[in-house]
Amino acid sequence: MKDIIRVKCLLSSDVETLLNQQIKKEAHSSAIYLSMASWCNRNGYDFSADYFFKQAEEERQHQLKFYKYVLDMGGTAISPEITNIKIEYNSFREVFEEALDQEISVTQSIKNIAARCHKEQDYVTLEFLNWFFREQREEEYKARRALELFEVIGEEGTGRWQIDKHVGQIVYNSEA
């Protein structure tokens, strides 16, 4: 008897489900960043708004990367429905705290997929995920640095204005 399922699709149904959840997560992330950009713009933090617009675009690219991967592997990529996106934030700082939380949760969820791949010996997907681990290192670094500006500069006086100006200048160029 032929192994038809394997011929049609390289992904196990479990990994496919996890990847589709990740597609949703990335889309959700992108939508959250867009909402943060809106809040920053409305409150006069222009540089931070730009920063979040860029982040939103990046998350969208990540989503598409997962999406195309699932299709390339013969799976069914599901276009996600995104709801419950927060509009208001209590403070400038809270925006960045949530941004970091968001990145941490994305990293954790990709680690979870990798763990499943290890279990199934799905080295093809593992290799694909490697790019994301590298990317998450950068994303978490940037989010953490942004939040640290609140400590380094302080919010008093023109502090927030300074923080906003420096957010756009955070770069990650580690060779490691």
Partner 1 sequence: MQQTVTLPQINFTEVFSTKNGAIYQSDSEGCWYVDFAGKLARFDYRNLLKLKKAVYQIDIEDLLLNSEKSADLEIIFICACDHCYVLSLLQIIKLKDLLQGTFAMLELNHIIFDRLHRIIS
What does the binding site for partner 1 look like in residue numbers (CB under 8 A)?
A: 1-9, 13, 76
Q: How far is the CB of 121 from partner 1 (least distance, A)?
A: 10
Provide, rounded to whole angstroms, the least separation between the CB of residue 144 and partner 1. Answer: 40
Nearer to partner 1, 7 or 176 (CB): 7
Give residues with Cβ within 8 angstroms of 21, minimum separation 6.
109
Complex with partner 1: residue 2 or 174, whichever CB lies closer? 2
Q: From the CB of 4, what's the least distance to partner 1, in Å?
A: 5
**CA dist 49 → 7, 40, 54, 120 (Å):** 47, 5, 9, 42
Residue 103 tokens, joined: 């990145």
- Least distance CB 62 / partner 1 (angstroms): 26
Kindly state the tokens that stand for 17: 């489900």
Indicate the residue among 81 and 88 with the shorter CB distance to partner 1: 81
- Cα three-residue angle 63-57-85, rounded to 5 degrees: 75
Q: How far is the CB of 1 from partner 1 (least distance, A)?
A: 5
Q: Which is nearer to partner 1, 6 or 86 (CB)?
A: 6
Report angle CA 92, 95, 99 to the nearest 5 degrees: 150
Is the Cβ–Cβ distance between 97 and 147 less than 8 Å? yes
Q: Which is nearer to partner 1, 76 or 105 (CB)?
A: 76
Return d(Cα 147, Cα 21) in angstroms, integer.
28
